[in-house]
Amino acid sequence: MRYAFFITIFVLLQLFSAGAALSIQWWLQPWITQTLQTIVWSAVFIITNGLLVLSVKRVFANSYRWVSGWMLIMHFILLTALVVSFLYGGYWLVVSLIGETGYGSNTLSLRLRALAVVVFLGLFIFSLYSAYVPIVRHLSISIDKPLAKPLRIAVASDLHLGRLFGVTAIDRLTRLMNSTRADMLLMPGDIMDDNTDAFNDYSMENNLAELCANLPYGVYATLGNHDLYGHERPISQALRDADVHLLNDDVFCIEHEGQKVWLVGRFDNHKRQRVATIDLLAKVDTSQPVILLDHRPSDIDEHSQLPIDLQVSGHTHNGQVFPANFIVSAINRLGYGYEAIGQGHFVVSSGYGFWGIPFRLGSRSEVWLINVSGNAD
């Protein structure tokens, strides 16, 4: 399986490289020479495979970011070529229908290349904006359980706290919690970006502690796969030191307006010894509201048959960069968004942060605000 993954990545990188080289060659067409064409093709493939080798050999820290970043650049080059080709075809269709001659070939060629630059830069700017400027998605659900007054639950999954997403992002989340008047914040996994190095270097503990102190019922979290890649203990300790209540295969009961609400948290399935959901539910009174934090949405079908009122998940990032969102949708029962299934309500967030590189296209950094109401008697 591991070899199949690496072979797939290698083949994709070569295909991306060929497409990017062809696109750059088109852009340079008015000035191209045989020598320049050779340089373009050689440079693209040397960069691609050089970064791949450095990443596999782990020559420097976070080398995967360089491969991901270069792949994103090539992806945007290809998307630019597709957009410009589509607009060019549309232009000639309109010209042919109205009988106009259009621009001269040289003028049109230069305008198309100028448009390509604008599209390429636009994709970069928009993707950065989508990664760093979150949107609040509002949802109201009703459950058939006792709940005298609505409970306002904020959900921020997949923060991936690290060098590219840290203090500023936590402080922004604190402001969002204050403005939305959330009762609690749930963070279903991937809180850290693999380790606590940046968290400690930039003293994020104080900012996270302030976030926790600003919520009436506090912050509750489970660990995701990126929290379990060899640094589970320091990550868990760092979160607890900041007053985050960790639910690692555990349950916790809060009182909301005199009524009990149960929070159930699971380890990500990267943890092979994790407790089954049904065993965790045996510890709670399921006649009262039950909210589950489960990093991956892979068990939604099973959970829809259990007395769970609300499940919040993340992990998928909604693909993060188009067209991966279509893949996420195809391989998951619910890859992103909200759906009422069976006995419960299910929310899969695209995440508040991002993985690897700070770009989102076809997805958005987000926080969910879920207003849960129940029976008044």
Q: What is the pLDDT of residues 16-42, one digit of tens each?
A: 999 999 999 999 988 889 999 999 999
* Euclidean distance between CA atoms 350 and 367, whole angstroms: 9
End-to-end CA distance of the chain: 54
Under 8 Å between Cβ of 362 and 321: yes
Any bridge partners for residue 253, and if so which?
Answer: 262
Provide the token pair at 242.
């900041």
Q: What is the pLDDT of residues 288-311, one digit of tens each?
A: 999 999 999 999 999 999 999 999
* Euclidean distance between CA atoms 365 and 317, whole angstroms: 9
pLDDT of residue 163: 93
Does the pTM of the predicted model rise above 0.85?
A: yes
- List CB contacts of 249: < 8 A, sequence separation 6 or more: 265, 266, 267, 274, 275, 280
Give Cα 298 to chain centroid, integer Å: 16
Classify residue 139 as exposed, middle or buried by CB count within 10 Å of its CB (0-12, 13-18, 19+). Answer: middle
pLDDT of residue 230: 87
- List CB contacts of 325: < 8 A, sequence separation 6 or more: 318, 319, 335, 336, 362, 363
* Euclidean distance between CA atoms 305 and 310, whole angstroms: 12
Under 8 Å between Cβ of 367 and 136: yes
CATH of 135-375, one of 3.40.640.10, 3.60.21.10, 3.30.9.10, 3.40.50.720: 3.60.21.10
- List CB contacts of 341: < 8 A, sequence separation 6 or more: 300, 301, 304, 333, 334
pLDDT of residue 59: 74
Query: For the chain, what are the domain ranges?
Result: 2-130, 135-375
In 3D space, the residue among 218, 274, 276 whose CA is nearest the CA of residue 246 turns out to be 218
pLDDT of residue 102: 60
Q: What does each of the 377 residues of the chain score in pLDDT, given as a tens digit?
A: 567 777 888 898 999 999 999 999 999 988 889 999 999 999 999 999 999 888 887 777 777 888 889 999 999 999 999 999 888 887 677 767 776 666 666 777 788 889 999 999 999 999 999 999 999 999 999 999 999 899 999 999 999 999 999 999 999 999 999 999 999 999 999 999 999 999 999 999 999 999 999 999 999 999 999 999 989 999 999 999 999 999 999 999 999 988 999 999 999 999 888 999 999 999 999 999 999 999 999 999 999 999 999 999 999 999 999 999 999 999 999 999 999 999 899 999 999 999 989 999 999 999 999 999 988 76
pLDDT of residue 23: 93
